[in-house]
């Protein structure tokens, strides 16, 4: 059995921790309240290995660099199983949450082509979200489909294939709009495409011209979609399986497109060079972009979508957002999938890690650090930064969990093991 820290121990340790941070001018109670208020959008593809729920005529074709490796027991196979697993995770992670669907999680009961999807095909998700008080976010699924099998969708040479995916993108915008209306909160609708080439393209211009044209058709004002309800975002990528040399929808492409067309730019932590992080990009892009969407992931060597951990890269993202008073200007969503370990544990570890990183950033004496830097006291600034690393952050995190109904310490692992024994192990 993994120990859960007793309530009296949490309360006693928190008094000392609160005083330690107060000595630096930081209000730990206020940091806790703000940390749990930041909405985090959870993703169903951690539960089912990006399989989706479509009923298919001819089967789908995995594409776009998506490869879920591992075969741990208990993969969710139905919408009901995904929702049950998600509810377990939500009970273990403190804070405000949303849920982030792909179009491939439609529950139509029969084959429905993606360009014919409607809000009714997500009625179960909407009812579930309403019952739990969750907002929903959305994504068109431009992969795992016969019309994406040769590595191109919105940039395809064939006008008929491009038109199909344009219709899909429009259908998804209408679904997102209706989700927002029914749930009373805007739905972020993120467009990511797998398009690219494996080796040495002769024409880098044509695909980007076609991609621009397709996106403009999807986002056309004449469609009369309420952009206060459906908040569109566009996501770039460096490469993926089958597109190692070139992707038309790169970060540079979308940074310009989003700014020119007035949509949200998405930064995925894994969609850049292996040693490139997104923390420094935030203060640069938010000079010009009103809002960003950040996909929280963890690459190892490449965009491998490992479980998010409370590591330096993740902490740096939230340090920059808090220091720039920009936490409210960024939409946050999890984006990883690991079938090699207990999927519910992976989901929980990632979500708790993000909440920890938000809290840690809010416990920094930001004004003190900026003042020391402005006064030329670089050594003093570094000394404070180093001291922060050993202050009793864990005691504040434990109090956050205690106050907001989440297990304290390692006790949540016992619940994961019981859920595996009682639920996951019975799935065949």
The catalytic residue among 137, 177, 232, 268 is 268
The catalytic residue among 4, 137, 195, 335 is 335
Mark whether 305 is an active-site residue.
yes
The catalytic residue among 147, 295, 356, 381 is 295
Mark whether 268 is an active-site residue.
yes
CA-closest candidate to residue 231, choices 137, 118, 335: 137
Mark whether 191 is an active-site residue.
no
Mark whether 192 is an active-site residue.
yes
Torsion of Cα atoms, 227 then 317 then 380 then 17, to 10°:
100
Cα distance between residue 154 and residue 219, in whole Å:
13
Q: Which residues contact 252 (CB under 8 A, 6 or more apart)?
A: 236
What is the DSSP track for 284-338? Answer: HHTTT-S-EEEEE-EEESEEEEEPP-SSHHHHHHHHHHHHTT-GGGEEEEE----
- Give the 3-state secondary structure of residue 227: coil
Mark whether 147 is an active-site residue.
no
The catalytic residue among 45, 165, 192, 397 is 192
347, 339 contact by CB (below 8 A): no
The catalytic residue among 156, 191, 237, 356 is 237
The catalytic residue among 102, 168, 271, 381 is 271
The catalytic residue among 137, 178, 232, 303 is 303
Query: What pairing do the DSSP bridges indicate for beta strands 292-296 and 264-268?
Result: parallel
Mark whether 271 is an active-site residue.
yes
Mark whether 335 is an active-site residue.
yes
The catalytic residue among 49, 137, 235, 420 is 235
Phi, psi of 384, deg, nearest 5: -65, -45
Dihedral sign computed on CA atoms, order 153, 155, 157, 159 = positive
Catalytic residue numbers?
Answer: 192, 235, 237, 268, 271, 295, 303, 305, 335
């Amino acid at each position: 059995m993994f120990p859960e820290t007793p309530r009296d121990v949490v309360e006693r340790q928190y008094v000392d921790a609160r005083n330690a941070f107060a000595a630096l001018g930081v209000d730990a109670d206020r940091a806790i309240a703000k940390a749990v208020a930041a909405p985090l959008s959870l993703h169903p593809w951690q539960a089912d290995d990006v399989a989706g729920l479509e009923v298919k005529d001819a089967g789908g074709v995995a594409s776009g660099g998506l490869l879920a490796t591992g075969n741990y027991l208990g993969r969710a196979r139905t919408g009901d199983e995904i929702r049950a697993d998600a509810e377990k995770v939500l009970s273990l992670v403190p804070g405000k949450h949303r849920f982030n669907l792909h179009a491939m999680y439609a529950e139509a009961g029969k084959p429905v082509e993606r360009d014919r999807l409607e809000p009714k095909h997500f009625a179960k998700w909407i009812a579930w979200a309403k019952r739990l008080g969750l907002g929903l976010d959305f994504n068109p699924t431009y992969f795992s489909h016969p019309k994406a099998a040769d590595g191109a969708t919105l940039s395809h040479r064939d006008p008929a294939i491009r038109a199909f995916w344009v219709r899909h993108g429009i259908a998804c915008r209408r679904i997102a709009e209706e989700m927002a209306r029914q749930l009373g909160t805007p739905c972020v609708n993120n467009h990511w495409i797998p398009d690219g080439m494996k080796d040495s393209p002769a024409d880098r211009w044509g695909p980007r011209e076609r991609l621009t044209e397709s996106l403009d058709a999807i986002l056309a004002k004449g469609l009369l979609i309420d952009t206060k309800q459906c908040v569109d975002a566009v996501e770039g990528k460096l490469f993926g399986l089958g597109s190692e040399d070139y992707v038309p929808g790169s970060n540079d492409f979308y940074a310009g497109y989003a700014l020119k067309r007035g949509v949200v730019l998405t930064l995925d932590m894994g969609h850049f060079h292996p040693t490139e992080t997104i923390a420094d990009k935030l203060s640069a892009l938010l000079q010009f972009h009103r809002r960003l969407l950040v996909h929280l992931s963890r690459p190892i060597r490449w965009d491998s979508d490992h479980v998010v951990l409370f590591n330096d890269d993740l902490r740096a993202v939230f340090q920059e957002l808090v220091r720039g008073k920009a936490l409210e200007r960024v939409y946050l969503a999890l984006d990883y999938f690991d079938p090699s370990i207990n999927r519910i544990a992976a989901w929980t570890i990632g979500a708790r890690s993000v909440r920890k990183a938000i809290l840690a950033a809010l416990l920094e004496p930001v004004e003190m650090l900026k003042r020391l830097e402005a006064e030329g006291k670089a050594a003093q600034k570094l000394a404070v930064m180093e001291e922060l690393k050993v202050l009793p952050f864990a005691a504040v995190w434990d109090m956050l969990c205690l106050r907001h109904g989440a297990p304290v310490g390692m006790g949540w692992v016992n619940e994961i093991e019981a859920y595996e024994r009682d639920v996951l192990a019975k799935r065949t």
